[in-house]
Structure 1
């Protein structure tokens, strides 16, 4: 009789007894080896993270737009004509002239018939804050 190995033993000439390395059960009494579906978990994780990045990006985009608007207003006011030193905390009004230049004044728009551009307050950082 030949030296045969029974069917229920996992053995090969090249690898020997390798049942513990196989990705499937090798006997009737072995536990079921179930591979988890990590693709679904990864997909949910990617969607959640992408949504978080998208929200953060939109938030930063809004902050950037707000910052650029502040910058443009400050540039406009600082480049306008005024012959006084503005006081921190005071309210000033920006007007446009007919020739396309701007000037800053203490006179409110309801007391003067000029084209009113905006109302601003100078804060302690020397930044012009547009009043609504």
Structure 2
């Protein structure tokens, strides 16, 4: 074919090499398999769903951890705001009571030894946090 001639779309032509179908990674004639673009919308959707599930799971874990932390802070504020006239010893169990005027006090006396409004038993850990204990 001459240089000036227009070639049909199915002919792969280079002025230096001429017709060069062998160098192509795809068929260039009419009987070659069609080049189809993959439909990846299903892949995108399923992977987006999986990613969203992972994000929701992580969010739920963080939310649960946050709620535990808030409860722990509230519990510590409750115990630290109560009255006591001793230095608590780490690992020792103490009991929290409420007086008639709703003021709180911490005591070493167990709830079965007297008739006070018992709110719970607590132990001071090595990080200076109060933890509820069951008797």
Q: Same fold (TM over 0.5)?
A: yes
1:130 has 2:106 as partner: no
Moved more, 48-57 or 28-37: 28-37
Task: Classify 1:45/1:107 alpha carbon distance in 2 versus 1 (closer, same or farther; 3 Å).
Answer: same
Aligned to 2:82, what secondary structure does the other structure show? Answer: coil
String of CA shifts for 1:50-107, please: whole Å, max 9, x gaps. Answer: 0000000000000000001000010010010000000011000001111111000011
Matched, 1:47 2:52: no
| TM-score, reference length from structure 2 | 0.78
Q: Pick one of 20, 33, 36 that aligns with 1:31.
A: 33
Bigger shift: residues 56-65 or 33-42? 33-42
Superposed displacement of residue 29, structure 1: 2.9
Distance, in Å, in 1 between the alignment partners of 2:39 and 2:110 is 69
| Superposition pairs of residues 36-115 of structure 1, within 5 angstroms | 36-115=38-117
RMSD: 2.4
Q: Any stretches of 5+ residues in structure 1 without a counterpart?
A: 12-24
1:119 is paired with a residue whose SS is: strand
Change (3 A) 1:28 1:125: same
Deviation digits for residues 31-63 of structure 1 (CA, Å, limit 9, x no counterpart): 321211111111011100000000000000000
Q: Unpaired runs of 5+ in structure 2?
A: 14-26
> TM (normalized to structure 1)?
0.80
